[in-house]
Amino acid sequence: MLARTSPSLDGLIEAVMENAALCINERTLLQGVDWSRVRPDKVADMLTRLAADGVRAPMWLLKSLLVAGHSLPISENPALDPSLHALNSLNSLLRRGGVSENGMDALVEDLIARENIDPEIVVAGVRQLAALQMGSLAARLALSHWRTAPQILRSVSDDVTRLLESLPEARLRVASFSTTHSFIADLAHAFAAVGFRAAMTQAEYGQALAELMKPGEQERDALLVLLDPEGLHAPDWRRETAKSHELLLQRIDLFSGAIEHYAGQGRGPVLINTVPVTIDPTMGLLDSYHPDGAAHGVQLINQRLAEIARSNNQVILIDASRAFARLEPRQWVDPKLWYYGRLPYSANATRALAVAFSGAYRTLKKGTAKVLALDMDNTLWGGIFGEDGVGQLVCDDEFPGNAFKAFQHECLRLRSQGMLLTVLSKNNPDAIDAFKDHPGMLLKQDDFVASRINWEPKPNNVRQMAEELNLGLDSFVFLDDSPHERAAMRRMCPEVIVPEMPDDPAARPLWLRALAVTWPVRLTDEDLRRSDMYAAERHRNVVRERAVSFDDYLSDLEQTLVIQKVGPASVARAAQMHLRTNQFNLTTERYDDAAITGMMKDDRCVVVLGRALDKFGDHGLVICATARVDGEQAVIQSLLMSCRVIGRMVEQTFLGELLRSLAGRGARHVKGAYIPTKKNGLVKDFYQGAGFTHLGSEGQREIWGWDLTDGRPLPGSNLITIRWDTGP
């Protein structure tokens, strides 16, 4: 009725709100309201009316109101979950205006610690904090939930930048077999979320092997290698199975040899992800054990990586399948991104990997937590010692006691891995006897290195224990079922790690396994000794036993460079390379089909292309040059290469052959230019590295020369087989 007299949208919404009770009963209309456009007093009126009608506002309604920025009277719903509760406090602070950042810290810490929080709540919280001018808290909240809600960073990017400036630097070198662009962008955020400003440099595109064998000069705190399924395992279906399998094994040898080589150079840790298990088989049901199976190949690679990591504590392995656990396997890869730009993983998967790498790095730098501070009642056992008495406490082999027992079991596991156990409980001191008097307890009093069982505030107790054990507060992980105790600990001892333990005791044992602050990241000396024993028994193959040098790596590749003059069949490829290549391109001349065809027909011009092959396969026509000879003078007009084969001496060898061919045309002096663009900094020193002489500069153009009369050896590597393809 109202709608007819007042056809505006606000009128319609008002009509819906007036009939809120009906809408709630019928579960309709109210869900569609955009609450951010409704005035707070109207919302208050609606809630008052509902209360008067005896209709309880449902949780979905309260949530949408809170997410839209409204504040609810505290009495409205005592059952608001803690994250909504925190958002409500934020909203009412913003309504009242003016607040000290201190009181806000603990509220936001609660939101940060809550791992499975609804992204909508995070987005709303970030927005409110930003509106309250609390940029650094907004940035921290956004970063902490960036994995599940990446878009929120966009609204606080300035605050994130400011926050980054205050963080310690992590110098990272990133290498891969594929495109690392998205990975790098994600690493910046992932590292910020764990408290580091990532300063990154990238190895050349696809050059993980070369980077491991011959690391760049760049200082680094760690090398990160993004491994993908196709980087090591790209089968050629024209080969027989046995040959194909042999090649994969060789490739794995080469890669693992390179990792060990790098790890032995004292350049710091190298973090590598495993290859995620593939679900699309190449051998159907046989996939996991047939030599041609994709899953089998992945297993072989991962197994070898694990062996290397087990015997070398500079090698840190990131388990990709674990990193991807929250994603459906079909979302691990985004085929469109792979075909468009060789991005090996989907956006979500890349983010998950970046988070896993940053987590491992954080643990490397800051160490694993050292002490578990455990509450007793409803944490280590079910029930309350002081009220129920020891006989009624639940911790045994029946449900629900078995969940508590399993939790104690996990505590024992951590203890066996070097974690110190302590108890921190509000109880009379005799509660410790429960471990002795209750038959179901796995933990015994002796398992605890310290205990505080009294009625003092837990933050005070934890400080005392820290002194007693001579450890920093940041070594403590506090596990308590009470949200109030957790909040108090966060407020009073912000250094203590206070994870949000699940309410359901059944969820806790596995949750404790997943708690990353308890994860060891590096092998201990004892682990290494143990793995030496394994290693002694292990069969080692030939490639890995000998020391691997860069030359060994080159000769292992068994590269061949086949050079051909441009012909009608290759004009298009030559033109395409000229038009598309940006990075490895000395002059960035954009010769098209017509220009190349013209040169092909011109006797004074030389247009050559190179095809690179190695024992793993054929890379196709990847390098191209054009030159012009006038009497004794020759000029290299363009020289460009696909980055796929960079860093393996192909470019120098090709240049050497180009010089040889120009000499054959009667040239005695060859000139080449480097013309800088935004993207070709990579080849700035190319001519210098190849042994050319600097002749001078013409504007931006650097001119380099080679004198063919002095009989110097031409650039190139004798580890590459050269063949001239004279064509049909």
Binding residues for another protein, per CB under 8 A? Answer: 150-151, 153-155, 157, 179, 181-182, 185, 334-337, 339-341, 343, 347
Least distance from C-beta 146 to another protein, angstroms? 11
Least distance from C-beta 95 to another protein, angstroms? 23
CA–CA distances in Å: residue 467 to residues 366, 455, 472, 488? 20, 19, 8, 20
Q: Which of 148, 250 has the CB closer to another protein? A: 148
Least distance from C-beta 337 to another protein, angstroms? 6
Q: Which of 189, 611 has the CB closer to another protein? A: 189
Closest CA to 118 of 154, 65, 81: 81
CA–CA distances in Å: residue 2 to residues 34, 44, 53, 146? 19, 20, 21, 43
Structure tokens at 715: 């650039």
Least distance from C-beta 63 to another protein, angstroms? 19
150 DSSP 8-state letter: G
Cβ atoms of residues 192 and 241 within 8 Å: no
Q: Which residues contact 421 (CB under 8 A, 6 or more apart)?
A: 371, 372, 374, 411, 414, 415, 443, 447, 448, 449
Structure tokens at 130: 């930003």
Least distance from C-beta 546 to another protein, angstroms? 39
Q: Which of 37, 336 has the CB closer to another protein? A: 336
Q: Which of 156, 275 has the CB closer to another protein? A: 156
Q: Which residues pair with 105 in a beta bridge?
A: none
Least distance from C-beta 580 to another protein, angstroms? 10
Question: Half-sphere exposure (CA, 13 Å, Cβ side) for 544?
Answer: 19
Q: Which residues contact 678 (CB under 8 A, 6 or more apart)?
A: none
Q: Which of 327, 543 has the CB closer to another protein? A: 327
Q: Which of 77, 350 has the CB closer to another protein? A: 350
Structure tokens at 107: 């509220």
* 567: region left, alpha or beta (phi > 0 left; psi from -120 to 50 alpha): beta
Measured CA angle at 678 (ends 674, 684), to 5 deg = 30
Least distance from C-beta 587 to another protein, angstroms? 20
Least distance from C-beta 185 to another protein, angstroms? 7
Closest CA to 255 of 217, 305, 299: 305
260 DSSP 8-state letter: H
Closest CA to 270 of 313, 230, 301, 307: 313
Give CA–CA dist 38/41, Å, rounded: 9
Q: Which of 154, 601 has the CB closer to another protein? A: 154
Cβ atoms of residues 490 and 109 within 8 Å: yes
Least distance from C-beta 265 to another protein, angstroms? 30
Give CA–CA dist 305/315, Å, rounded: 9
Least distance from C-beta 585 to another protein, angstroms? 15
Question: 């630097």: which residue's tokens?
Answer: 169
**Phi and psi (nearest 5°) for 213?**
-75, -40
Least distance from C-beta 22 to another protein, angstroms? 28
Cβ atoms of residues 640 and 581 within 8 Å: yes
Q: Which of 15, 185 has the CB closer to another protein? A: 185
Q: Which of 251, 351 has the CB closer to another protein? A: 351
CA–CA distances in Å: residue 287 to residues 244, 281, 292, 728? 15, 6, 7, 42
Q: Which of 264, 681 has the CB closer to another protein? A: 681
Q: Which residues contact 719 (CB under 8 A, 6 or more apart)?
A: 551, 554, 555, 559, 649
Cβ atoms of residues 701 and 675 within 8 Å: yes
Least distance from C-beta 621 to another protein, angstroms? 21
Q: Which of 29, 185 has the CB closer to another protein? A: 185
Within 609-649, residue ranges assigned H as helices are none
Q: Which of 234, 347 has the CB closer to another protein? A: 347
Q: Which residues pair with 454 in a beta bridge?
A: 426
Least distance from C-beta 280 to another protein, angstroms? 18
Question: 């009242």: which residue's tokens?
Answer: 96
Least distance from C-beta 639 to another protein, angstroms? 22
Q: Which of 106, 682 has the CB closer to another protein? A: 682
Least distance from C-beta 11 to another protein, angstroms? 20
Q: Which of 11, 150 has the CB closer to another protein? A: 150
CA–CA distances in Å: residue 637 to residues 198, 606, 646? 40, 10, 20
Q: Which of 153, 213 has the CB closer to another protein? A: 153
DSSP E strands in 387-475: the ranges are 420-426, 448-454
* Number of alpha helices (DSSP H) and beta strands (DSSP E) in the chain: 31, 17
